């Protein structure tokens, strides 16, 4: 057995307990037993937790950065998963009760998609048995696993990138590219916030931004209120399909920039061209490891060949989440900076 | 003179008691009607706007008056406080508080309590079926309560005063 030691020396973890709990509203959405563990035994690690996974009769798994740990009977973090806290059916049921505010009927669309958004803008992935209606998933029952994904807001994480995305008031069509969990959404959120609020140091006054948040991850909308700072000139179309949402926003809210997450479907391309015709700039993200990989994808290769995106931003976790590896000029396909 | 005042007190006291009992029959019928209205509102909240229960119950309570709001208000408040209370538990607590205000029959309490067991734990379709069932049961209970009211209300209106008079006669 190895007991994991994670540095407690950073500034954030020295916050006094009440502040820690106040800034971690997601704790309220956990099943009682697990919340108790977090509040009493893991309170120094709360700021580092990125994911909490619960699967019935399997150990509770907590991911912090690249480490995945569990909690042993002595309530210490360990990577000896055999000794980990076994998640009970009651934990999952209670979790669902809390997440749905005892109102499963109110979240049928969300269950159909497999996730719920909770106060604070965090997302909880849900798996169980599908209930089908004419061959399509109608809802989920017999819930067997929950995945709490803690969204982090890093104001200023786009500071270094923004000079490459703006030129004398012109905003470049930008594609942010990275493997999963490298901070694409966090970076996009900060780009949106700064474009919306304005960036005095770049002499850029704020512009209207339309945000199509199909998976409720960027703004983290909860009952009509964004849970993250997304800027004072940002209009959000929450839980709307990207292509449809982009066209709606262009017609209805006349944004200067439209931002959305994870493009890649056929219909997205049509929406991107419509944006171009309307003179609206687009900032979006895509899963991917390299330009070569993207150039092989049927939907994206056309866009890249045509030079739709003027800036390509590559992210990694090399020096922590959100490391900007490089910015490329999308027209010449040349690296601009490192 | 003292005897006269005493007799008046006894008769008016008993009469008041009788009137109260008679009034209770009427109140119970009104309550059952208002509960059905409340459940209709809840159905709208569930069916058309998919409002989660804590807010839906509060909205229903805001639109109701008289004692029927107690049930929705109390259940909604318990759920909003987020102390690990399920919708069923909150509803049953609400029923308990309501019964303290207006004594319902065991049958009526059972109808309301059983409805709580299915509350919030299933898909919209099931919730609507459950609501239709409880409304039907409450409607039947209301019919019976009307019959009882017609049978007993007038009797109690007079019986109180009569009983008072009998007591006075015995004491004199």
* ipTM of the shown complex: 0.75
Where do the structural domains in chain B lie, given as residue ranges?
33-152
Where do the structural domains in chain A lie, given as residue ranges?
12-149, 162-337
CA distance A117 to A124: 6
pLDDT confidence of A166, banded at 50, 70, 90? very high
In the prediction, which pLDDT does B82 show?
64
The beta-carbon neighbor of A101 closest among B79, B84, B123 is B79
Q: Do B50 and A100 touch (CB under 8 A)?
A: no
To the nearest whole Å, the CA of A332 is away from the closest chain B CA by 50
The arithmetic mean of pLDDT across residues B143-165, rounded, is 86
**Model confidence pTM above 0.95:** no
Residue range B70-122, pLDDT digits in tens: 999 999 999 888 666 889 889 999 999 999 888 889 999 999 999 998 898 88
**Quick one: DSSP state of residue A303?**
H
Residue A229 has pLDDT above 80, yes or no: yes
Residue range A232-273, pLDDT digits in tens: 999 999 988 999 999 999 999 999 999 999 888 888 888 998
* Domain A162-337 top-level CATH class: alpha beta
Which residues in chain A have their CB less than 8 angstroms from residue B123's CB?
Answer: 104-105, 108, 131, 138-139
Residue range A34-82, pLDDT digits in tens: 998 888 888 888 888 989 999 999 999 999 888 899 998 888 889 899 9
In the prediction, which pLDDT does A91 show?
92
SS3 label, residue A263: coil
Q: What is the mean pLDDT of chain A?
A: 87
In the prediction, which pLDDT does A22 show?
55
The arithmetic mean of pLDDT across residues B35-56, rounded, is 93
In the prediction, which pLDDT does A117 show?
86
Alpha helices for chain A (secondary structure H) = 17-22, 32-41, 89-99, 108-113, 162-165, 184-197, 242-253, 266-277, 291-295, 298-306
What percent of chain A is predicted at pLDDT more than 90? 47
Cβ-contact A242, A271 below 8 angstroms: yes
Contact partners, residue B106, CB within 8 Å, separation at least 6: none
To the nearest whole Å, the CA of A112 is away from the closest chain B CA by 12
Cβ density class A74-92: b for 16+ within 10 Å, e for less: eebbbbeeebbbebeeebb
Q: Do A105 and B50 touch (CB under 8 A)?
A: yes
A12-149 topology per CATH: Beta-Lactamase (3.30.450)
The residue of A35, A105, A118 whose CB has the most chain B CBs within 10 angstroms, and thus the best one to mutate to test that interface, is A105
């Amino acid at each position: 057995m190895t007991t994991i030691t994670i540095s407690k020396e950073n500034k954030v973890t020295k916050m006094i307990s009440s502040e820690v709990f106040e800034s971690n509203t997601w704790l309220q959405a956990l099943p009682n037993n697990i919340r108790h563990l977090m509040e009493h035994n893991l309170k120094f690690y709360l700021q580092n937790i990125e994911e909490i996974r619960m699967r019935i009769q399997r150990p509770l798994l907590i991911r912090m950065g690249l480490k995945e740990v569990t909690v042993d009977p002595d309530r210490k973090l360990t990577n000896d998963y055999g000794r980990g806290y076994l998640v009970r059916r009651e934990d999952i049921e209670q979790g669902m009760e809390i997440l749905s505010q005892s109102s499963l009927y109110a979240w049928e669309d969300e269950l159909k998609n497999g996730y719920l958004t909770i106060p604070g803008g965090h997302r909880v992935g849900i798996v169980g048995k599908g209930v089908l209606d004419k061959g399509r998933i109608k809802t989920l029952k017999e819930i067997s696993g929950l995945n709490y994904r803690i969204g982090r807001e890093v104001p200023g994480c786009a500071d270094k990138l923004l000079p490459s995305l703006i030129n004398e008031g012109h905003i470049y069509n930008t594609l942010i590219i990275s493997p999963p969990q490298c901070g694409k959404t966090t970076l996009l959120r900060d780009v949106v916030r700064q474009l919306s609020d304005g960036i005095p140091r770049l002499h850029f006054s704020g512009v209207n931004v339309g945000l199509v948040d199909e998976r409720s991850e960027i703004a983290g909308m909860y009952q009509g209120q964004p849970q993250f700072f997304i800027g004072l000139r940002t209009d959000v179309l929450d839980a709307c399909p990207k292509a449809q949402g982009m066209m709606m926003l262009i017609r209805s809210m006349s944004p200067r920039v439209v931002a959305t997450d994870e493009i890649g479907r056929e219909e997205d391309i049509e929406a991107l061209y419509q944006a171009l015709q309307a003179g609206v700039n687009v900032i979006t993200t895509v899963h991917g490891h390299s330009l070569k990989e993207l150039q092989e994808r049927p939907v994206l290769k056309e866009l890249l060949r045509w030079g739709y995106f003027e800036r390509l931003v590559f992210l990694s976790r090399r020096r922590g989440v959100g490391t900007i590896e490089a910015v490329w000029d999308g027209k010449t396909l040349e690296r601009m900076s490192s | 003179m003292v005897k006269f005042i005493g007799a008046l007190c006894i008769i008016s006291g008993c009469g008041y008691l009788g009137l109260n009992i008679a009034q209770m029959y009427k109140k119970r019928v009104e309550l059952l009607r208002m509960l059905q209205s409340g459940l209709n509102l809840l159905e709208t909240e569930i069916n058309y706007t998919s409002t989660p229960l804590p807010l839906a119950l509060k909205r229903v309570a805001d639109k109701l008056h008289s004692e029927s709001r107690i049930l929705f208000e109390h259940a909604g408040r318990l759920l909003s406080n987020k102390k690990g209370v399920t919708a069923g538990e909150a509803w049953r607590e609400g029923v308990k508080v309501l019964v303290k205000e207006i004594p319902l029959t065991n049958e009526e309490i059972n109808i309301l309590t059983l409805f709580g067991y299915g509350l919030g734990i299933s898909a919209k379709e099931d919730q609507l079926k459950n609501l239709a069932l409880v409304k039907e049961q409450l409607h039947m209970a209301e019919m019976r309560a009307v019959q009882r009211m017609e049978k007993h209300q007038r009797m109690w209106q007079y019986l109180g005063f009569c009983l008072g008079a009998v007591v006075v006669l015995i004491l004199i």
